[in-house]
Structure 1
Amino acid sequence: MKKITLGTSKLEAGEISLGCMRMDALSKKEANYVIENALDLGVNLFDHADIYGSGRSEEVFSDAIDMNAEIREKMIIQSKCGIRKGFFDFSKEHILSSVDDSLKRLQTDYLDILLLHRPDALVEPGEVAEAFSTLKASGKVRYFGVSNQNPMQIELVKKYVREDLIVNQLQLSVMHTPIIDAGLNVNMQHDKAIDRDNSILEYSRIHDMTIQAWSPFQYGMIEGVFVGNSDFPEVNAKLQELAEKKGVTDSAIAIAWILRHPANIQPVVGTMNAKRLADIAKASHITLTRQEWYDLYRAAGNTLP
Structure 2
Amino acid sequence: MRTIKLGSSALDVPVIAVGCMRIKSLDKKEAERFVRTALEQGANFFDHADIYGGGTCEEIFAEAIGMNGSIRENMILQSKCGIRKGMFDFSKAHILESVDGILKRLKTEYLDVLLLHRPDTLVEPEEVAEAFDLLERSGKVRHFGVSNQNPMQIQLLKKSVKQPLVANQLQLSITNATMISSGINVNMLNDSAVNRDGSVLDFCRLNDITIQPWSPFQFGFFEGVFLGNEKFPELNRKIDEIAAKYEVSNTTIAIAWILRHPARMQPVTGTTSLERLIDCCKASEITLTRQEWYEIYRAAGNVLP
TM class, shorter-length: over 0.9
Structure 1, unaligned runs of 5 or more: none
Query: Post-superposition shift, 1:157?
Result: 0.2
> What is aligned with 1:7?
7
Give yes or no for the alignment of 1:85 onto 2:85: yes
Q: Tell me how far apart the structure 2 counterparts of residues 281 and 114 of structure 1 sit (CA, whole Å).
A: 23
CA deviations 1:93-140 (Å, max 9, x no partner) are 100000000000000000000000000011011100010001001000
Query: Post-superposition shift, 1:273?
Result: 1.2
Q: Tell me how far apart the structure 2 counterparts of residues 214 and 27 of structure 1 sit (CA, whole Å).
A: 24
Give yes or no for the alignment of 1:230 onto 2:238: no
CA deviations 1:20-60 (Å, max 9, x no partner) are 00111211111110001001101011000000000000000
CA deviations 1:222-241 (Å, max 9, x no partner) are 21111111111011111100
Q: Tell me how far apart the structure 1 counterparts of residues 189 and 279 of structure 2 sit (CA, whole Å).
A: 41
Q: Tell me how far apart the structure 2 counterparts of residues 28 and 4 of structure 1 sit (CA, whole Å).
A: 31
> What is aligned with 2:279?
279
CA deviations 1:4-30 (Å, max 9, x no partner) are 110111211110110000111211111
Q: Tell me how far apart the structure 2 counterparts of residues 286 and 8 of structure 1 sit (CA, whole Å).
A: 25
Checking the alignment, whether the CA contact within 8 Å between 1:249 and 1:280 is kept in structure 2 is no
How is 1:141-220 mapped onto 2 (pairs within 5 angstroms)?
141-220=141-220
Query: Post-superposition shift, 1:187?
Result: 1.1
Q: Tell me how far apart the structure 2 counterparts of residues 86 and 188 of structure 1 sit (CA, whole Å).
A: 38
> What is aligned with 2:132?
132
Q: Tell me how far apart the structure 1 counterparts of residues 65 and 302 of structure 2 sit (CA, whole Å).
A: 44
The Cα RMSD (Å) is 0.6
Checking the alignment, whether the CA contact within 8 Å between 1:37 and 1:274 is kept in structure 2 is yes
Q: Tell me how far apart the structure 2 counterparts of residues 108 and 83 of structure 1 sit (CA, whole Å).
A: 22
- SS of alignment partner, residue 157 of structure 2: helix
CA deviations 1:173-201 (Å, max 9, x no partner) are 00100110110001111111110111100
Query: Post-superposition shift, 1:143?
Result: 0.3
Structure 2, unaligned runs of 5 or more: none
Q: Tell me how far apart the structure 1 counterparts of residues 46 and 71 of structure 2 sit (CA, whole Å).
A: 13
Alignment-mate amino acid for residue 267 of structure 2:
P
Checking the alignment, whether the CA contact within 8 Å between 1:182 and 1:192 is kept in structure 2 is yes
How is 1:15-26 mapped onto 2 (pairs within 5 angstroms)?
15-26=15-26
Alignment-mate amino acid for residue 274 of structure 1:
L
The sequence identity of aligned pairs, in percent, is 63
Task: Compare 22-31 and 247-256 and name the one that shifted more.
Answer: 22-31
- SS of alignment partner, residue 266 of structure 1: coil
> What is aligned with 1:52?
52
Checking the alignment, whether the CA contact within 8 Å between 2:192 and 2:303 is kept in structure 1 is no
Q: Tell me how far apart the structure 1 counterparts of residues 170 and 90 of structure 2 sit (CA, whole Å).
A: 18
Query: Post-superposition shift, 1:67?
Result: 0.4
Q: Tell me how far apart the structure 2 counterparts of residues 276 and 255 of structure 1 sit (CA, whole Å).
A: 11
> What is aligned with 2:251?
251
Query: Post-superposition shift, 1:275?
Result: 1.8
Q: Tell me how far apart the structure 2 counterparts of residues 159 and 226 of structure 1 sit (CA, whole Å).
A: 40
Alignment-mate amino acid for residue 44 of structure 1:
N
Checking the alignment, whether the CA contact within 8 Å between 1:6 and 1:210 is kept in structure 2 is yes
> What is aligned with 2:112?
112
